[in-house]
Structure 1
Amino acid sequence: MNKLINLTYDSTSYQVPAGITVRSFLNGPLKIPTEALAYSDNPVVALRMNNEILPYSARLETDAGVMPERLFSDIGKRIYRHSLSFLLAYVSHQLFPDRNLVIGHSLGDGLYFNFDGQFSLDPKDVDLLREGMQAVVASDLPIEQELIAYCAARDYFHQKGFNATELLLSYRNDPTLSIYRCGDYMDISYEALAPSTSIMSVWELRPYGERGMLLRYPLSRDVLHIAEFRDHPLLFSVFREYKIWGNILNVKSLGDMNRICGSAEIFTFIRMNEDLQHRKISKIADNVVEKGTVKVVFIAGPSSSGKTTFAKRLSIQLRLLGYNPVQISLDNYYKSKSEAPRDKDGKPDLEVLEALDLDIFRNNLNDLYAGNAVDLPKFDFTGNGRRYYENKPLSLKGNTILVIEGIHGLNPLLIPNLDRRTIFKIYISALTQLNLDDHNRISTTDNRIIRRIVRDHRTRSTSAQQTLEMWPSVERGETFHIFPYQNQADVMINSALDYELAVLKPYAEPLLKTVKPEAYYAYPMARRLLGFLDNVYPIPAELVPRDSILREFVGGSEFDAI
């Protein structure tokens, strides 16, 4: 007798055979179309089962609450972006089987790709890829998740020349592996993919730079159209520089990093990572001084980018050049929570510029510029939050440079009347250059989330679930108040360290495992982060230098940075 399970959706219970596929459940009891899916119809692309995100081909084995996940939801948009990458990799392998397509990094509303080992890309090849993708979309091919034996997966990736994937698998011993198949093409994806190629009709593929291409997707503010192209040359140059560093360090993917973490090379590798970053900070200090008129350095970047430690290390370099740097954190100008602006849910919104007491900040800075002594505030974040003073007046001297850091440091509305000649602007972010393998990237956002989970638990006793549930507000703030100003920076710096996930993993994993299935928003994200951390070879935090930016998150910083 076949076992029956109860699946509950929208207060209605459906009794179905155990092992029914997501596709059959959607198409049968729920009467939701699963064939000839069109992007513009906002189709269902996955199913939540106890808040686990499952593709169409997954089988349902237990009683559970379920909810269809549509394309234009936050989860659906992630699925779409990953599916586009899979589509490009599939078509590239069909057209150019002897070339190795490598996903690079996000750039605005797109993902950068290039062919490994090729230093130029013929635009005609991009045309062929575009036409091939369009043909596959029109063919409405199914994309299905399958479990295959470990040895079969390893042999397939070896035969296809997917060396980064094969290397990554060498640090796993699962008896079976989950792969996604389209026709005779297989690849690994660490997130659910769309059920068929027909959905993937809204995108743009364009040549970018001398050797690459940009695969663009719709933004959340207009999911039906590709926005007008906006370039980010400064951000691209930073990514390119750090890819060069990766080549110097002989690390292109997580498998390379795991190999080093499991050997005595790790000691030298960490030192080289830190020294490369040290050289960059030293060069930025030179740039500040060479300008000749700088009185204030503004440092901005998204959450968990390492602004505090960077400001302290930059200040040391400025001192070596004969200047007297004075650090100011914009965090000390926050309003109390009861006075802060409210977000759409009525909660204090600490991500907007107006969460700062701008009058006090502007008065303080104008007084300092005028030569007056100023007692700068401090802020205590416990409880409702309160501002206090230490009665330590400060005044600008001839060799004083203010180093001001905070998420709004590049916002021109922060203090609009300062002489631009006296300002130097720096943008900092953790721009991860490592990939899981050639077709699966580690997003910079995921890197920063893991940093913040570890730091906030250590410094504020904040649970991983609380941090994850707060993240949408953080991202909204970054989208509207930080990223629009990044190209106004005089210089950008990447605070990511190739080895940092290996250090963060032992801290982050147990915290993420405390997030349970009833956490609607946090649980899918926790499962996703745990999924990719499972591929990381851990190393102890004792190996991290005390002046490292990474110490801001795991503790033990010589700068007391938190």
Structure 2
Amino acid sequence: MAIVELRELAEAAQKDYASEIVAGLVNNEIRDLQSEVDMSSEVSFIELNSSRGWRIYRRTVMFVLFTVVHEMYPSAEVVAQFSANKGIFCEIRHFGIGINEDIVHNIESRMLEIIAEDLPIIKMKMDKEQAIKIFKNNRQIEKANLISSLKIDKVSLYQCGEFYDYLYGVMLGHTGSLGKFALDVEAGGILLRIPDMDTGGAVRERIPQPKLSQILAESRQWAQALQCNFVPDLNRINRHGEIGELIRVSEALQEKRISQIADHIAEQKGSLRLILIAGPSSSGKTSFAQRLRVQLRAAQLMPVSISLDDYFVDRENTPRKPNGEYDYECIEALDVELFNEHMLALLAGEEVVLPTYNFLTGCREWDESKRLAVTREQPIIVEGIHGLNEKLSEYVPHSRKYKIYISALTQLNIDAHNRISTTDARLMRRLVRDYQFRGSGALKTLKQWPAVREGEEINIFPYQEEADVMFNSALIYELGILKRYAEPLLQMVPRDIPERAEAKRLLDILQYFDAITAEDDVPNNSLLREFIGKSVFFK
């Protein structure tokens, strides 16, 4: 059986690709170009100008950043935190002095030197115990703990110069292709910006997102308060039988935040009347809306809920996507004019007949018994993806409405250098929910996800900063619970189809988590119950 390095095959195939080949797909599993494959394998390639390609590029640039900070400031620790301001915020801990523009410029200059030298990034397999020793000597204790917990004998490390790191995704094999990036000073650290699929190869422009940054920083404070910053911390708490307490405190933090939002609305009950809730797929919007309704009741208000789905235009008038499918996610799929008329009438104390959208016939229906009128202090709760888009409620004065953005902004890292993206956390939720309640296997969900993400980029994320308040629906323990559901679903994705690569990537994330079996400790009003079942809000 002939064995060849994947790099050799990539060099021969490069002429057929518009951008640089950065990795391979071997039997539908992502492999770096240093991997050896037998010639009987099914091989294709990942080029830079693709969503996977730019993810590999970003990971490799971050590795160079880690390398340079370790070289220039050996006592400092870089912690890759979250996406904000159109970049990745990396906290610099144990630095001793404040981060300023000169320091960031020096780091950036050294990174560019390493890139200009086109140094090799070497992947090496070694015994787990040897890797643990390396990271303990480098004072990367959480990384040593992570590797120690893995149920394998050997691990793969990447090396550049004298620096070693453990990263769960593949990287480029050399530094010479990494010239496109920018570093900015950010409070407590550095903002790293790179190109992506939406920029046409240009470095992302920095766009301040102060509200998003604030809620992300708050989520990190929650993690620190719970003494659970990294996955090994969660596993330790679980193994020591303390997970029930962590679940209760995590839920209490969310309940407290919802209560604060409700109290703010109640304090302005004469003016804040239209409560608009929006967020991306699987962010827990429906459960949040229900819990907010309960808290408003506790504040002696009597909220009513209206579904935006009932304001769909008739199917024959629904816009279509370029592929001919109906686009139910664009705002033009809603009768915005009618929605505004009804909201203004209700706020004026008038009675309206609410429509009902029949998803079988694709037509709006009217029932005279479905009449609604509200008092001058009753809030109207509307949940839907367009809640933050001013066009949805443009006729309603700003002083009468309150916009809430909700998303699952993951506060738990695998370790200091390996993030878990909020997108991946939401995808795990959706995989479980779609199987539990919609009869969809993992394959169908994985196929749909790119279109879902495309719709979010158009219809939700551009309006995040329009929110009056943001709520983080992520629970620090949730992936330990979801693992028991998601892992078998992902393992069922056939190996001979393209979606296997994405399934394998998600399985690689879940391998670091110990399954949390204390599911009875998850309360029946938890946002997580929307996905795993037994929610008090869903029949």
TM-score, scaled to structure 2: 0.94
Q: Compute the displacement of 1:503 (Å).
A: 0.7
- Matched to 1:544, the amino acid is V
Q: Compute the displacement of 1:156 (Å).
A: 1.1
Q: Compute the displacement of 1:125 (Å).
A: 2.1
**In structure 1, which of residues 68, 74, 95 is the aligned counterpart of residue 72 of structure 2?**
95
2:274, 2:401 within 8 Å by CA — same for their partners in 1? yes
Deviations 1:76-98 (A, max 9, x none): 11111111111111111111111
Deviations 1:490-542 (A, max 9, x none): 1111000000001111111111112223432x222111111010111111332
5 Å-filtered alignment, 1:254-269, equals 254-269=231-246
Per the alignment, residue 447 of structure 1 pairs with 425
Q: Confirm whether residue 367 of structure 1 aligns to residue 371 of structure 2.
A: no
Q: Compute the displacement of 1:255 (Å).
A: 0.9
5 Å-filtered alignment, 1:465-484, equals 465-484=443-462
1:296, 1:423 within 8 Å by CA — same for their partners in 2? yes
- Matched to 1:315, the amino acid is R
Per the alignment, residue 456 of structure 1 pairs with 434
1:109, 1:219 within 8 Å by CA — same for their partners in 2? no
Per the alignment, residue 420 of structure 1 pairs with 398
RMSD over aligned Cα atoms: 2.1
Per the alignment, residue 492 of structure 2 pairs with 514
Write the distance in 2 (CA, Å) between the matches of 1:447 and 1:247.
20
1:351, 1:473 within 8 Å by CA — same for their partners in 2? no
- Matched to 1:177, the amino acid is V
Q: Confirm whether residue 551 of structure 1 aligns to residue 522 of structure 2.
A: no
- Matched to 1:67, the amino acid is S
- Matched to 1:511, the amino acid is L
**In structure 1, which of residues 480, 484, 490 is the aligned counterpart of residue 468 of structure 2?**
490
5 Å-filtered alignment, 1:244-323, equals 244-291=221-268, 292-323=270-301
SS state at 2:69 partner: helix
- Matched to 1:282, the amino acid is S
Write the distance in 1 (CA, Å) between the matches of 2:415 and 2:395.
48
Q: Identify unmatched segments of 5+ residues in structure 2.
A: none
Write the distance in 2 (CA, Å) between the matches of 1:343 and 1:145.
43
Write the distance in 2 (CA, Å) between the matches of 1:286 and 1:407.
24
Q: Compute the displacement of 1:177 (Å).
A: 1.0
Deviations 1:234-273 (A, max 9, x none): 1111111111111111111111111112222111111100
Q: 328-337 or 301-310: which moved more?
A: 328-337
Write the distance in 2 (CA, Å) between the matches of 1:416 and 1:515.
45
5 Å-filtered alignment, 1:517-536, equals 517-520=495-498, 522-536=499-513
SS state at 2:213 partner: helix
Per the alignment, residue 109 of structure 1 pairs with 86
1:503, 1:538 within 8 Å by CA — same for their partners in 2? yes
Write the distance in 1 (CA, Å) between the matches of 2:425 and 2:115.
32
Q: Compute the displacement of 1:371 (Å).
A: 2.5
Q: Compute the displacement of 1:379 (Å).
A: 4.9
Residues 188 and 378 (structure 1 numbering): CA distance in 2 closer, same or farther, change over 3 Å? farther
Write the distance in 2 (CA, Å) between the matches of 1:109 and 1:251.
26
5 Å-filtered alignment, 1:111-190, equals 111-118=88-95, 120-190=98-168
1:167, 1:256 within 8 Å by CA — same for their partners in 2? no
Residues 466 and 388 (structure 1 numbering): CA distance in 2 closer, same or farther, change over 3 Å? farther
Write the distance in 1 (CA, Å) between the matches of 2:318 and 2:139.
55
Deviations 1:430-485 (A, max 9, x none): 00011110001000000000111111111111121111111111111111111111
Write the distance in 1 (CA, Å) between the matches of 2:16 and 2:530.
49
Deviations 1:372-394 (A, max 9, x none): 3234345565x676656673422
SS state at 1:417 partner: coil
Q: Compute the displacement of 1:404 (Å).
A: 0.8
> When the two structures are aligned, how many residues end up with a matched partner?
535
Write the distance in 2 (CA, Å) between the matches of 1:131 and 1:222.
24
1:150, 1:173 within 8 Å by CA — same for their partners in 2? no
2:349, 2:376 within 8 Å by CA — same for their partners in 1? no
Per the alignment, residue 64 of structure 1 pairs with 41
Q: Confirm whether residue 23 of structure 1 aligns to residue 1 of structure 2.
A: no
Q: Identify unmatched segments of 5+ residues in structure 1.
A: 4-16, 35-40
Deviations 1:319-361 (A, max 9, x none): 1112111122323434576653222322232322123343443
Residues 252 and 385 (structure 1 numbering): CA distance in 2 closer, same or farther, change over 3 Å? farther
Per the alignment, residue 82 of structure 1 pairs with 59
2:276, 2:382 within 8 Å by CA — same for their partners in 1? yes
5 Å-filtered alignment, 1:332-371, equals 332-335=310-313, 340-371=318-349
SS state at 1:277 partner: helix
Residues 185 and 205 (structure 1 numbering): CA distance in 2 closer, same or farther, change over 3 Å? same
Residues 340 and 59 (structure 1 numbering): CA distance in 2 closer, same or farther, change over 3 Å? farther
5 Å-filtered alignment, 1:185-200, equals 185-200=163-178
Q: 455-464 or 426-435: which moved more?
A: 455-464
SS state at 2:392 partner: coil
Write the distance in 2 (CA, Å) between the matches of 1:114 and 1:125.
14
Residues 378 and 180 (structure 1 numbering): CA distance in 2 closer, same or farther, change over 3 Å? farther
Q: Compute the displacement of 1:284 (Å).
A: 0.8
Q: Confirm whether residue 226 of structure 1 aligns to residue 203 of structure 2.
A: yes
Write the distance in 1 (CA, Å) between the matches of 2:294 and 2:174.
55
Q: Compute the displacement of 1:370 (Å).
A: 3.6
Write the distance in 2 (CA, Å) between the matches of 1:545 and 1:488.
32
SS state at 1:403 partner: strand
SS state at 2:169 partner: coil
Q: 488-497 or 58-67: which moved more?
A: 58-67
Q: Compute the displacement of 1:368 (Å).
A: 1.8
Write the distance in 1 (CA, Å) between the matches of 2:478 and 2:486.
12
Write the distance in 2 (CA, Å) between the matches of 1:58 and 1:333.
53
Write the distance in 2 (CA, Å) between the matches of 1:55 and 1:517.
18
Write the distance in 1 (CA, Å) between the matches of 2:377 and 2:327.
37
SS state at 2:277 partner: strand
